Structure 1
Amino acid sequence: MPVAEPAALTVRGAAMCVFALLGGCGAAPEADDGAEREEPVRPPPSATAGMDAEADPTTAPETVYVFNTHGNEQGEADQRPENLVASQSTTFTGLEWLAWGGGPAVAEGDVQGTWCLPDCQDSPYPVTVELSGAETVDGTAFYTGYTFTGRSGFPEEMRGRVRDVGSGRLMLPTAW
């Protein structure tokens, strides 16, 4: 290993001190007394996280929408829809919303889609749905992702398929 010149050590040392101070790492370490320390509690992700730089900072979390093509193939901005087309292969029906805006939207309802035909056509499966993330389109915030998990009564043989289709990106309007 080559020996560093003293001037290089001084510059490198000074740079490390500056980085440590800027990064907040310059505080003296706490004594290790063997006691367990609790990790800081992090807030849940915001429904408006990931919004682009043109997002209106006055947009209240309650004004987050989901782009929904259920009953309207052109789609529309919707809040707390009873029925939601999440993707070309997944539709949620009978949704009862437990939370909306200010973070992920959560609902209980049923799912059906091409991935579970023919079994779920007449008897959709009970699920919990979560919408998350947000992106703005022409100044309107839309949820961008969905996940769902089976509830009591969800067929065990379908749980493997949910690993493939149980989450995805929601459709967004292309132009208003």
Structure 2
Amino acid sequence: MPDAQLSARSLEALLGDWRGAAPGYQSLADRVRLLVLDGRIPIGTRLPAERDLAGRLDLSRTTVSSAYRQLREGGFLDSVRGSGSVARLPGPALALPMTGGEGMLDFTKAALPAAASLPAAAPPPPRSCRTSSRTPATTRSACRTSARPSPTGTPSEASRPRPTRCS
């Protein structure tokens, strides 16, 4: 779990225009729930203290306390008195195997970094495609293959791809 902490100021910015027709605590709880679900509040992030958030949003502490209570009841917050409230998702925590079993893939190491010698191993471009001082590389088109369609639509010598010269 990340050890991130969200300040009241940061949460206020994330909340945006959260006030709606519903009671204040419910609107606040709904917006925080959406922020947790869409990942803008990462799982394991400590939310601001009720008193700090109430002061920042210019609300009563009871309103923020009721919103946090609703989030706890819905499984979106874990709170410990004196330690704060931490964002989570409802339901049991997933128990992942410590070691991969047969048929298991470890995606934490799905791709290794490229070798430092990789650029040196690439073949140089053909001589006709090298950049010149007269023509900037950004305005030139790279060497490519062009094909001319046959007038009848059937494959012919004319429709075979031919290399073009760089200009």
TM above 0.5: no
Select the structure with the greater relative contact order (CA < 8 A; seq sep ≥ 6). 1
TM-score by length of 1: 0.19
Higher relative helix content: 2
Higher relative strand content: 1
TM-score by length of 2: 0.20
Greater Rg, structure 1 or structure 2?
2
